[in-house]
Chain A
Amino acid sequence: MKEKLQYLWSKNREGIFGYAIMVVVVYLYISSQKNFFSAYGIKSTFDQFLTLLFAALAQTIVILTGGINLSVGALIGLTNTLTAFAMVPIATAIGNDTLGMVVTLLLVLLVGAVAGWVNGMIIVKGRFQPIIVTLATSFIFMGIGMYLLSAPGGEVVKGFSKLLTGTLPFAKIPKSVLWLLFSIIIVWIPLRRSRLGQSIYAVGGNEHAAYVSGINVEKTKIFTYTLAGIFCAIAGILLTAQTGVGDPTGSEGFTMNSVAAVVLGGTALSGGRGSFIGTIAGVITYSLILGLLIFWSVPSFYQDMIKGFILIAALAINALQKIQVKRKERTMSI
């Protein structure tokens, strides 16, 4: 048992500062919300972080391969817009609301996958730097979204929002908690324990080692970006469920916030190290800060400042840790 704990520790210790901050923030948040444990309290808490959760999941896998994805926000905007744009027309065309919803969602997921695939193909086949390719595609995705809706608008089928968000009728558990569990149990863990997941870590950690071990580096990267596209689509769908409308330009903030959450959670920008579990800590932290500030009557624009400080502090501590490790290494004999 002890060995198992040691194993988990060694795999996750870089995210330790992120976890610590999360615990502090969560504690402060809970103690500040008198009605936290009420249904509304929990729901509003968790609802905030839903979209960012999947945005950060997309960013996590890309960063693990040693890349970065600046098109996350734009793709969320696009899928959000597409959902709000197409759902009612499709449902009307089919004549069935539920079926219309399902078809729309499948369409949106497909669009997300294709968008991600395009990212992957250009990066891999062109051998270009991910940062600049995804910067370019972010404009393209945003532009397409703007074509669909030039201003926030669109609508969703009745019952859609309630289906994906809110609380379960019988148990008073927020559905967003279910989504959180879904992302961990049904998405992350199987992914992590699949050949693809292992390849992602290998490619990001030491591309040469991955290659000589027989891993198809190109395919891994393309898969990763495609998968990231799907996660962005899910984020976009959830955003639509929460807001009820599509907004082609309102999702830009998700890009940088997803990077921040990933870094805070201990995932290295160089690739090969980190985990979505750490990212979740970052996501929760960032999502709750606003609520805390509101409760303390601190003007909400301090939110960004605090996020900035946390980010720098987390990395600085990480750097200090590395120096400690280097000092230790020096005393080990050949």
Chain B
Amino acid sequence: MEKVPVISAKNVNKRYGGVHALVDAQIDCYEGEIHALVGENGAGKSTLIKVLCGATIPDSGSVFLRGKEIKLSSPIDAVRHKIASVFQELSLLPELSVFENVFLGSEPRTKFGLLNLKEMERRTRVIMKELEFDIPVRTLVKDLPLAQQQLVEIAKALSKDPDIIILDEATSALGSKEVDLLFKLMRRLTKEENKTVILISHKMNELEVIADRATIFRDARYITSFQWGEMTNAEIIDRIAGRKIDTIFPEKRETISREIALEIEGLNYQNKLKNINLKVRKGEIFGLAGLSGHGQAELLDVIYGARSIERGHLLIKGKKVRIKNPRNGLKAGIALTPADRKNDGLLLTRTCSENIALTTLSRRSRMGIIHFKEEEKDVDKIIQLLQIKLSGSNQIAGTLSGGNQQKLVIGKAILTNADILLLSDPTRGIDVGTKYEIYQLIRKLAEDGKTVLLYSTENKELLGLCDRIAVFKQGKVVTVLEDKEMTENEILKAALGMAEEVTA
């Protein structure tokens, strides 16, 4: 570990609206190493990676390749510099075959100028053999299971013979067999061929096995880098999480009644949720924790009716209910704030007023006609309650800041007077000030007797707000933490499958 890092970044800053994604970020990676980038959701890892591979242009800062500064203005620039990247969202063409995808954009040609399909096929077979991926190259990508699709994406990146390979949670869809394969490959690339691999992953157990060095990011900032093995897992988790929970959470008070507001019995949904059994009380703030994509958002969708329950029951106040679509959900007294506010939560080209009022139209109308005065009253009430910063309720929703947009989404749900509020990642991409306001609001809702189910990718949030926390892993509830058990370590242990580490 001497000399010049093969790739590094310095003083990188990036803002998205009011949110700082990266503040003075830096990283150094050396030849021949597998470098892990760790941190919580939103810590800045993905943004830094996007800068390194040309997918995002930073507001300021520089990227260096073997000491020389380079400008990356598009993903193709990066490829030219022999930097390859594989993201969680696949950029494959499902209707084309594996070998066509691998060579997309750089197809070898015959002497007549046509695509040399035979050569493409042959070379892809060679690549697959070298990588030891057992994937039939003629199959259409859409006919492959997701895990294999991810491998194809990796093969595509490697086919360009890169020096630096960046993997952003590229193992999320892989099974253990494929992960082993990938690790073997990564070792060969770095130890035998002196390439560099930068890896974002939340899976501690995997990183233990494969990473040489690691860098920790927290709150958009670089924290530290270390050789894997220098720190214990506990110390690492400490650095990822931060020393203590900020005292920006409103004080918890006893709000929970005895009455069970929502009961989930044996709920199954496709292969995303398996046999969920939960009882949530009135006035309780119930958290859903775990790595993202392990069923939390799907559970909220199912309860609300946005997805159809396949097996199991829902009981509200002790009575079985059948909720087949969001209309049913709203009628049953449930409201949901979708995680993706831009695509699922708000009509960005319509006014704030219209957005807030959308779910409660029938309540204020007689014979289908809108009563504007009443609507205005309701909308004003919400704007005041949530302190939404507007220049008038006629402002177009898309022009608001992220934090205020989220307030609109929450306001829309609150207006329904639902007894059960499902909040799906409500503080994603929001500034700290607005977050605090939302935390206070959530607390107040509980005090008013509402039942809140809160899914968040920030463990600190869950710990600060919730009365109990269910930790999800692979669609199952691994454990439900309460009182003294509710610590960051406990959540991470359950979520990352480090339960073996239980000492006492």
Contacts and interface: CB of A to CB of B under 8 A. Distances in A.
A touches B in complex, CB < 8 A: yes
A330 B107 contact: no
Contacts of A193: 114-115, 117
A178 to B, nearest CB: 22
A333 B158 CA distance: 27
A201 B140 CA distance: 13
Nearest to A199: B105
Contacts of B145: 332
B18 interface: no
Contacts of A273: 95
A201 B141 CA distance: 14
B474 to A, nearest CB: 7
A213 B91 contact: yes
B76 A209 contact: no
Interface string B95-113: 1110010001111010011
Contacts of A10: 139-140, 143
B115 A209 contact: no
A190 B91 contact: no
A7 B138 contact: yes
A232 to B, nearest CB: 24
A208 B115 contact: no
B94 interface: yes
Contacts of B55: 212
Given A7-B97, A205-B95, A190 B114 contact: yes
9 contacts: A193-B117, A202-B104, A205-B95, A206-B91, A208-B91, A212-B76, A214-B76, A330-B270, A334-B271
Interface in A279-334: 330-334
B150 to A, nearest CB: 12
Contacts of A212: 55, 75-76, 91
A210 interface: yes
B95 A198 contact: no
A201 B95 contact: yes
Contact of A205 (B93, B272, B475): B93
Contacts of B223: none
Contacts of B100: 198
B227 to A, nearest CB: 33
A272 B95 contact: yes
B271 A331 contact: yes
B93 A209 contact: yes
Nearest to A209: B91
Contact of B271 (A3, A211, A213, A333): A333
B104 A198 contact: yes
Interface residues of A, number: 31
A198 B106 CA distance: 11
Interface string A256-286: 0000000000000000110000000000000
A96 interface: no
A11 B136 CA distance: 15
Given A193-B117, A198-B115, A205 B105 contact: no
A272 B140 contact: no
7 smallest beta-carbon distances between A and B, as pairs: A213-B105, A209-B91, A214-B105, A205-B93, A213-B104, A212-B75, A193-B114
A215 B143 contact: no
Contacts of B146: 334
Contact of A198 (B79, B107, B272): B107
Given A10-B140, A205-B96, A214-B106, A194 B115 contact: yes
Interface string B53-69: 00100000000000000
A220 to B, nearest CB: 11
Nearest to B294: A334
B104 A215 contact: yes
A195 B109 contact: yes
A192 to B, nearest CB: 9
A92 B270 CA distance: 74
A131 B138 CA distance: 35
Interface string A186-204: 0000100111011001100
Nearest to A214: B105
Contact of B93 (A4, A7, A201, A330): A201
Given A214-B76, A334-B173, A205 B94 contact: yes
B271 A194 contact: no
B388 interface: no
Interface in A5-19: 6-7, 10-11
Contact of A330 (B104, B173, B271, B475): B271
A214 B115 CA distance: 16
Interface in B102-152: 104-107, 109, 112-115, 117, 136, 138-140, 143, 145-146
Interface string B268-288: 001110000000000000000
A193 B115 CA distance: 5
Nearest to A216: B105
A194 B114 contact: yes
Interface in A211-236: 211-215
A107 B106 CA distance: 35
B92 interface: yes
A6 B138 CA distance: 9
A194 B114 CA distance: 5
Contacts of B271: 330-334
Given A193-B115, A213-B105, 14 more contacts: A190-B112, A195-B107, A198-B104, A201-B95, A202-B105, A206-B92, A206-B94, A209-B93, A212-B55, A212-B75, A332-B271, A334-B146, A334-B173, A334-B272
Nearest to B54: A212
Contacts of A334: 146, 173, 271-272, 474-475
A193 B119 CA distance: 13
Most buried by A among B95, B107, B136, B146: B95
Contacts of A190: 112, 114
A190 B95 CA distance: 19
A332 B115 CA distance: 34
A300 to B, nearest CB: 38
Nearest to A197: B115
Contacts of B143: 10
A241 to B, nearest CB: 30
Nearest to A271: B95
A202 B101 CA distance: 9
Nearest to A14: B95
Contacts of B115: 193-195, 197-198
Nearest to B112: A190
Nearest to B78: A212
Interface in A42-62: none
